[in-house]
Structures are given as C-alpha cells and as structure tokens.
C-alpha cells in the first residue's frame, strides 16, 4: 500500500516545544509512537514531513521516537 511509505515520511510536530515525533503506524489521529503528545490540543500538533520539520523549522527529534533523538 502506498499509505505505508507516507507514514514513514510524515511525523507529528509539537509546535509548542518544536519537537518532531513519529506518527504511530495505522493511527488515524495525531497519535505518536511515544504517546507523549496524546494529551495535547490538536491546535498544538501538526502533521509534517520529518525532514522538513528538521531542515526548515529546526525541530528536535523526540528521544523516544527516534534512536538518535534527544529531549522530548
């Protein structure tokens, strides 16, 4: 399914902390792998390409979602 690739590319950005999380596979909502954002308002979260969030917005990778990430 072409869907699978899309989910690997996209992440969930926490705009308050500028942290990028991995989107949980198969989840319909703004659900992240680490679950740290589940309590946040949807207005604080944005689905965005992971490389764009890092390259253009200088976001930090979530340390729980990414092995090479730091902070959360």
C-alpha of 72 from chain center: 11
Provide the strand spans (E) within the chain: 10-14, 19-22, 45-49, 60-61
Instruction: Select the span of 3-11, 44-52, 53-61, 63-71 touching Zn ion (CB under 5 A).
Output: 63-71
Choose, by CB under 5 A, the member of 11, 21, 45, 59 that binds Zn ion: 21
User: Does residue 62 interact with Zn ion by CB under 5 A?
Assistant: yes
CA gap 40, 43 in Å, rounded = 8
Tell me how many residues contact Zn ion (CB under 5 A). Answer: 6
Choose, by CB under 5 A, the member of 13, 20, 34, 59 that binds Zn ion: 34
């Amino acid at each position: 399914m072409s869907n699978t690739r899309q989910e690997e590319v996209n992440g969930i950005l926490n705009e308050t902390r500028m942290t990028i999380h991995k989107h949980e596979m198969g989840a319909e909502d703004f659900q992240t792998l680490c679950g740290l954002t589940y309590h946040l308002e949807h207005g604080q979260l944005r689905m965005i390409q992971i490389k764009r969030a890092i390259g253009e917005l200088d976001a930090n990778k979530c340390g729980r979602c990414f092995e090479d990430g730091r902070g959360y």
